[in-house]
């Protein structure tokens, strides 16, 4: 849950999640849709799907017991190198080296590694692994993460109070704040599309499920055209091809903007109220407007709903 976000944001989600599904068996027995709904707003929904899949593997194939080694954990859905090392160290006190951004920064400074990220990752990984002690590796893993989060901070590291002040090479060279060096980021492209706010005679809204694989996989959405890159906007024929039904469509004022990890998205919303016959011909699910918060709408789609309600 904490990927790309803060403890403050995650706190209420985490508590609600554990209240709903206090054990791995409870989570395994849950419907995926309920899990996605509880996750809605946190982004990176593949994690929610993987968490659910992982719970099923642990509950059904492993008798409800998690593997207690890095290699064993790596076999579970959604568990990559970082999570496997962090869980092996923190939960099972294994001498594993969990590399997050904090640990990367501390390691780069401690050894004055000036090569930029991400190319320097393998070197940093090896250097960090050398420091993992055989004694209390779980405490060590948390200590170095916390050192990075609270002492060896990105800006203004507190070198005077740092327990590694003496051996730290970046501090003695006076370059602590310049590390880790980073390769310049590529500018994010902008994709553009048209979303269709479609209302039936009873006031229900047309939604559909996205394909399981890919961005926002398995989540519900307001139908839209493809999201086009390279400065292109959907042409009239693109729009006609994706239009859910014929009707008196009108373009709503303004644009919905959302930023994903790799691109910005701009959606123009077209709205129509369909008659009974047209509504029947439509592919998708008609969902009551006042119950839209009960389905797993990702943040970008919640923005479309808000925009449509304001401008339709």
Concatenated DSSP letters for the chain?
--TTS-HHHHHHHHHHHHHH--SHHHHHHS-HHHHHHHHTTS--THHHHHHHHHHHIIIIISTT----SHHHHHTSTT--HHHHHHHHHHHH--------HHHHHHHHHHTT--SPBTTTHHHHHHHHHHH--SSSHHHHHHHHHHIIIIIS-SSS--GGG-TTTTT-HHHHHT-GGG-S-BPPPPPPPEEEEEEEEEE-TTSEEEEEEPPSSSTTTT-EE--B---B-TT----HHHHHHH-SS-S--EEPSS-EEEE-SS-EEEEEEEEEE--HHHHHT--SEEEEGGGGGGS---HHHHHHHHHHHHH-
Q: What residues contact residue 15 under an 8 Å CB cut-off, 6+ apart?
A: none
Say if strands 264-273 and 190-199 run parallel, antiparallel, or are unpaired: parallel
User: Which lies closer to ligand SF4 via its Cβ, residue 152 or residue 219?
Assistant: 152
User: Which lies closer to ligand SF4 via its Cβ, residue 126 or residue 212?
Assistant: 126
Please report whether residue 145 would count as binding ligand SF4 according to CB under 6 A.
Answer: no
Part of the chain binding ligand SF4 (CB under 6 A), chosen from 53-61, 105-113, 119-127, 212-220: 105-113
Cβ at position 184, least distance to ligand SF4 in Å: 23
Closest by alpha carbon to 109, among 50, 146, 153? 153
Please report whether residue 27 would count as binding ligand SF4 according to CB under 6 A.
Answer: no
Please report whether residue 157 would count as binding ligand SF4 according to CB under 6 A.
Answer: yes
Please report whether residue 171 would count as binding ligand SF4 according to CB under 6 A.
Answer: yes
CA quadruple 298, 300, 305, 306: dihedral sign: positive
Part of the chain binding ligand SF4 (CB under 6 A), chosen from 37-45, 82-90, 151-159, 188-196: 151-159
Please report whether residue 109 would count as binding ligand SF4 according to CB under 6 A.
Answer: yes
Please report whether residue 159 would count as binding ligand SF4 according to CB under 6 A.
Answer: yes
Q: Pick from 162, 204, 216, 274: which binds ligand SF4 (CB under 6 A)?
A: 162
Q: Pick from 87, 152, 194, 272: which binds ligand SF4 (CB under 6 A)?
A: 152
The answer to whether the CB of 177 falls within 8 A of the CB of 157 is: yes
Separation of alpha carbons 299 and 243, rounded Å: 22
User: Which lies closer to ligand SF4 via its Cβ, residue 53 or residue 169?
Assistant: 169
Cβ neighbours around 301 below 10 Å, total = 25
User: Which lies closer to ligand SF4 via its Cβ, residue 164 or residue 260?
Assistant: 164
Part of the chain binding ligand SF4 (CB under 6 A), chosen from 36-44, 161-169, 286-294, 302-310: 161-169
Please report whether residue 113 would count as binding ligand SF4 according to CB under 6 A.
Answer: no
**Number of residues this chain uses to bind ligand SF4 (CB under 6 A):** 15
Please report whether residue 106 would count as binding ligand SF4 according to CB under 6 A.
Answer: yes
Please report whether residue 124 would count as binding ligand SF4 according to CB under 6 A.
Answer: no
Cβ at position 117, least distance to ligand SF4 in Å: 16
Please report whether residue 170 would count as binding ligand SF4 according to CB under 6 A.
Answer: yes
Residues 190-249 within binding reach of ligand SF4 (CB under 6 A): none
Give the contact letters, 56-95, x = binds to ligand SF4 (CB under 6 A), - = no.
----------------------------------------
Part of the chain binding ligand SF4 (CB under 6 A), chosen from 95-103, 162-170, 215-223, 230-238: 162-170
Using CB under 6 A as the criterion, which residues of the chain lie in contact with ligand SF4 when the complex forms? 106, 109-110, 151-152, 157-159, 162, 164-165, 168, 170-171, 176
């Amino acid at each position: 849950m904490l990927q790309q976000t803060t403890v403050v944001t995650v706190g209420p989600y985490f508590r609600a999640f554990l209240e709903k599904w206090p054990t791995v068996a409870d989570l395994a027995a849950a419907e995926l849709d309920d899990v996605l709904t509880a996750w809605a707003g946190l982004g990176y929904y593949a994690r929610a799907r993987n968490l659910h899949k992982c719970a099923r593997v642990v509950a059904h194939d492993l008798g409800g017991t998690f593997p207690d080694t890095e290699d064993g954990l790596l076999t579970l859905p959604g568990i990559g190198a970082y999570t496997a090392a962090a869980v092996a160290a923190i939960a099972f006190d294994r001498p594993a080296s969990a590399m997050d951004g904090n640990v990367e920064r501390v390691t780069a400074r401690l050894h004055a590694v000036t090569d930029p990220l991400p190319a320097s990752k393998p070197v940093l990984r090896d250097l960090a692994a050398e420091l993992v002690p055989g004694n209390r590796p779980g405490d060590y893993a948390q200590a170095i993460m916390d050192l990075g989060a609270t002492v060896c901070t990105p800006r203004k590291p507190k070198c005077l109070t740092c327990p590694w002040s003496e051996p730290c090479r970046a501090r003695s060279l006076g370059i602590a704040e310049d590390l880790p060096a980073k390769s310049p980021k590529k500018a994010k492209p902008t994709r553009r599309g048209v979303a269709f706010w479609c209302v039936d005679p009873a006031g229900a809204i047309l939604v559909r499920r996205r394909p399981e694989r890919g961005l926002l996989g398995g989540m519900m959405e307001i139908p839209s055209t493809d999201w086009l890159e390279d400065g292109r906007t959907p042409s009239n024929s693109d729009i006609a091809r994706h239009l859910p039904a014929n009707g008196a469509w009108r373009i709503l004022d303004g644009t919905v903007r959302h930023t994903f990890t790799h691109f910005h998205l701009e959606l123009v919303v077209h709205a129509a109220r369909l008659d009974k016959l047209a509504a029947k011909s439509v592919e998708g699910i008609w969902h009551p407007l006042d119950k839209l918060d009960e389905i797993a709408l990702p943040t970008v789609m919640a923005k479309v709903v808000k925009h449509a309600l304001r401008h339709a």
